Structure 1
């Protein structure tokens, strides 16, 4: 089984990758993992070889992690990607000896169709966090505009959801790991059909640090921050799919806000593709507004 860990930056992808690694998911040789840094002292748990390929894919379309390209239909067959496809195939073969492996990179949210062309039945973990908290985290790193952060969150989320089939994805909320981490991790492992004893589960959950959580915004904080309505819609829908641990972590006011929300779950992938197409120009406008 191959696992792709994706989601917007600052949404717990590193934390979740580390826990899954302890539970038996091979992430690559230690020398290939990006070392800890000031903005991620617990480690990124990110294989540099996959990161480089993802960055090259984005660069082929004149994009980057913080200025995502606007991919067209059939973009994975673009001739500019031929040499990258070849390198990706070789990289995947390096993991052929492992029955359970994966990689983590928030950029997977943008490049997922590329990897799906190489790996059938790819399991996708969608790491979710309140966009307001993502904005606060990015602002501490010099990205002060919530307009920028929200446009980026929309792009990452819409492109990821448009590519991730319902049966092959699971949504896990960052906040769940500060409420009942073992139950939420067990939920992930059950989805991935990974067996782990209670001791391993406890060891994995001990890696969770409260220092990772500099903010814990509420849904109402997001509503009060002038977030775009389509962002709020998508976030609330994803919250409702984030499992019982997350829902039980909400206070009465937050749960009431979700209960009043009428989601539209039918044909998720197709609907998100349409939503992505309809809001691409708006997202581009918001990003351009930041850089003008």
Structure 2
């Protein structure tokens, strides 16, 4: 049974993928994965080929990860997608993945119908994280406004819940792995039919670092900030399916405290964005200065080209004048040659007349 790890960007999919890989799920060798980055130093655990196919599929559907496409039911049956379907079915054998195998990509949430058509027995692990925590992280990494991040969160999870039946999915909450990592990974492994020893389990739980999670937000923060009712209902439903209590905030935050915590987080994120904006402004000034210098160089080059064109025209005039002179010289040489012949004939005739009397 293949396993697809889905969810939303910045929602904990990398952590879940790392833990499952340590418990025996074949995600392919590390050299086939996207490289770690500053925002995800442990790695993304995303196979390049699967991500590339998802990106091309989204492009065919008219979207990208931050602008999900508008699709109609049954879009996966479009004959125009048959080539991508065949490619999807060939990936495991092409890259030597062995049972149990899977792949991780948050874009799976938007493209699951095609993957489920490729493998009808596909099981989907849906990784959920508090919408505000996800939106804060997207703001810091991608400079997406909070409302855009929350809207994307809703679109991703609405889509994957709609496209994958409950019996074909397991919903896990990012926060649960910090509160009860062993119990949560056991629950997930049980749903996937994976058996591991205690050492593997302990190693997987060791992936969880308290530094990765700074506080626990619940429904109160969403309600205080006036989040969309659909988002709150969807998050509550997913938390119930994951067995995670969404009503508890860290340190028993009250509504006012939740708001203050959210504002503080937002302020930190905005501070980061402001610093990045100043850096971008500095870079923009540098670019403008270089563009001005480039304009000066282009003007200089244009002047040189004009001078060269003028010289080339002058040379062309000289060449034409030389050609005329050459023609004249050739004509004069021809005339001179003719005169020389006449002169030679005249001299020869005169000599004959002088010599002729003496021959008698």
TM over 0.5: yes
**Partner SS state of residue 26, structure 2:** coil
Equivalent position of 1:221 in the other structure? 221
> For 1:138-174, what per-residue CA distance to the aligned partner results, in whole angstroms no more than 9, with x for missing partners?
1112434222111111110111001111111111100
2:173, 2:239 within 8 Å by CA — same for their partners in 1?
A: yes
2:22, 2:204 within 8 Å by CA — same for their partners in 1?
A: yes
Cα displacement (A) at 1:250: 3.7
Equivalent position of 1:193 in the other structure? 193
Instruction: State TM-score, norm by structure 1.
Output: 0.81
Q: Does 1:126 align with 2:134?
A: no
Q: Report the Cα distance in structure 1 between the residues aligned to 2:143 and 2:6, rounded to whole angstroms.
A: 21
Equivalent position of 1:247 in the other structure? 245
Q: Report the Cα distance in structure 1 between the residues aligned to 2:28 and 2:177, rounded to whole angstroms.
A: 24
Change (3 A) 1:161 1:151: same
Q: CA RMSD in A?
A: 2.3
Instruction: State TM-score, norm by structure 2.
Output: 0.67
2:5, 2:104 within 8 Å by CA — same for their partners in 1?
A: yes
Cα displacement (A) at 1:212: 2.3
**Partner SS state of residue 247, structure 1:** coil
**Partner SS state of residue 85, structure 1:** helix
Change (3 A) 1:103 1:186: same
Equivalent position of 1:165 in the other structure? 165
Change (3 A) 1:216 1:152: same
Equivalent position of 1:34 in the other structure? 34
1:76-155 mapped onto 2 (5 Å cutoff)? 76-94=76-94, 98-155=98-155
* Higher Rg of the two aligned structures: 2
Q: Which stretch of structure 1 is more off in the superposition, 208-217 or 118-127?
A: 208-217
Equivalent position of 1:272 in the other structure? none
**Partner SS state of residue 140, structure 1:** helix
Q: Report the Cα distance in structure 2 between the residues aligned to 1:139 and 1:24, rounded to whole angstroms.
A: 34
1:179, 1:249 within 8 Å by CA — same for their partners in 2?
A: no
Cα displacement (A) at 1:29: 2.3
**Partner SS state of residue 238, structure 2:** helix
Q: Report the Cα distance in structure 1 between the residues aligned to 2:2 and 2:21, rounded to whole angstroms.
A: 13
1:53, 1:88 within 8 Å by CA — same for their partners in 2?
A: yes
Equivalent position of 2:182 in the other structure? 182
Q: Report the Cα distance in structure 1 between the residues aligned to 2:249 and 2:214, rounded to whole angstroms.
A: 19
**Partner SS state of residue 141, structure 2:** coil
Structure 1, unpaired ranges of 5+: 258-292
Change (3 A) 1:28 1:120: same
Structure 2, unpaired ranges of 5+: 256-360
Flag the structure with more relative contact order, 1 or 2, with Cα contacts below 8 A and sequence separation at least 6.
1
1:176, 1:249 within 8 Å by CA — same for their partners in 2?
A: no
Cα displacement (A) at 1:123: 0.8
Q: Report the Cα distance in structure 2 between the residues aligned to 1:195 and 1:150, rounded to whole angstroms.
A: 36
Q: Report the Cα distance in structure 2 between the residues aligned to 1:232 and 1:26, rounded to whole angstroms.
A: 35
